[in-house]
Structure 1
Amino acid sequence: MTTTSAVLAFPPPAAADSAAWLARKLARYADAWDVAEDLANGVTEIVVIDARSPQAWRAGHICGAVNFPHRDMTPQSLATLDRSKVYITYCDGIGCNGSTKAAWKLASAGLRVKELIGGLDFWRRDRHPVVAGEMPGEWPRRESLPDCGC
């Protein structure tokens, strides 16, 4: 008796095709653990942008992020950004497209950008540092990051 596979009803592409597609996906997205590791290690080539409103920012944001609401992004305001950086955008989570709108505006302005998978929701789920108030906050000193299990 032959069993029909729901997974294999659409066969996977050749390995080289998969590798190329997955590399393109990884070029566009970052996960919470990778961003947290870079922030903890003082990587200066990235800037984390909270694309939410100032009110949401003050209620709690990724430690070290800057608030730049996607609604405030204009060609003029984006022209002031450092083109040597890679910008990581985030919003509340997968149900919010503020980070996508911000990433689109940044990329349209010629800046390099990635989106944070899962936004602040996944960041908090993974227990990475969050700070409330007006200031970006400083990354806490600790021995190592929690293991994400990946």
Structure 2
Amino acid sequence: MTNTAAIDHFAGRLRFETDVSDVHAALHARTAGYVVVDSRGAQAWAQGHLPGAVHLPTAQIAGRAAEVVPAGARVVTYCWGPGCNGATRAALEFAKLGYEVREMLGGYEYWVREGFTYQSPTGPDRRPADELTAPRRAVSCDC
């Protein structure tokens, strides 16, 4: 027996959520029309952010999205991490403006914890992958 409610639920999540490994792969491939938006405040952005990300705090999205993010772009929002729903609020604002949008699960925290390069105040930086979030010697968890 097919569980259509569960299929619809999980398919919907995959349509509107992505993870740091998939975002890393898209950025590495230089996927056209793909814009990653950091929705945190200025101090958080200055502390560190994803290379190539656009800084657009959630409160500014309605007024500035059109000048910062091209029409038709596929937007991915992120905030601090799984304990924060800032990326969800940012994604909602982009959806209201008609953008195709996904939320990056894990946020900046998991980007750093999975060992991906981030932009720090002194330039590109990277920490070793946390073995509780990513395999030590592989690009992804192969899930």
Give, in angstroms, the shift of residue 132 of structure 1. Answer: 1.6
Q: TM-score scaled to structure 1, two decimals?
A: 0.77
- Give, as a single letter, the amino acid of the residue that structure 2 aligns with 1:147: S
Which contiguous aligned blocks of 4+ residues in structure 1 show a shift greater than 3 angstroms?
none
* Matches for 1:72-83 after TM superposition, within 5 Å: 72-74=60-62, 76-80=63-67, 81-83=69-71
Q: CA RMSD in A?
A: 2.1
Report the Cα distance in structure 1 between the residues aligned to 2:122 and 2:38, rounded to whole angstroms: 12
Deviates more, 1:80-89 or 1:28-37: 80-89
Deviates more, 1:34-43 or 1:80-89: 80-89
- Of the three residues 82, 100, 105, the one matched with 2:93 is 105
> How many matched pairs?
129
Q: 1:7 maps to which residue?
A: none
Indicate the percent of aligned positions where both proteins have the same amino acid: 32
Give, in angstroms, the shift of residue 130 of structure 1. Answer: 0.6
Q: Which has the higher contact order (CA 8 A, sep 6+)?
A: 1
Report the Cα distance in structure 2 between the residues aligned to 1:108 and 1:84, rounded to whole angstroms: 14
SS of the equivalent of 2:102 reads strand
Q: 1:58 maps to which residue?
A: 46
SS of the equivalent of 2:80 reads coil
Give, in angstroms, the shift of residue 134 of structure 1. Answer: 9.8
**Bigger Rg over Cα:** 1
Matching of residue 84 in structure 1 with residue 98 in structure 2: no
Q: 1:116 maps to which residue?
A: 104
* Matches for 1:9-88 after TM superposition, within 5 Å: 14-74=2-62, 76-80=63-67, 81-88=69-76
Runs of 5+ in structure 1 lacking a partner?
1-12, 138-144
Report the Cα distance in structure 1 between the residues aligned to 2:110 and 2:97, rounded to whole angstroms: 28
Runs of 5+ in structure 2 lacking a partner?
125-137
- Of the three residues 81, 90, 96, the one matched with 2:84 is 96
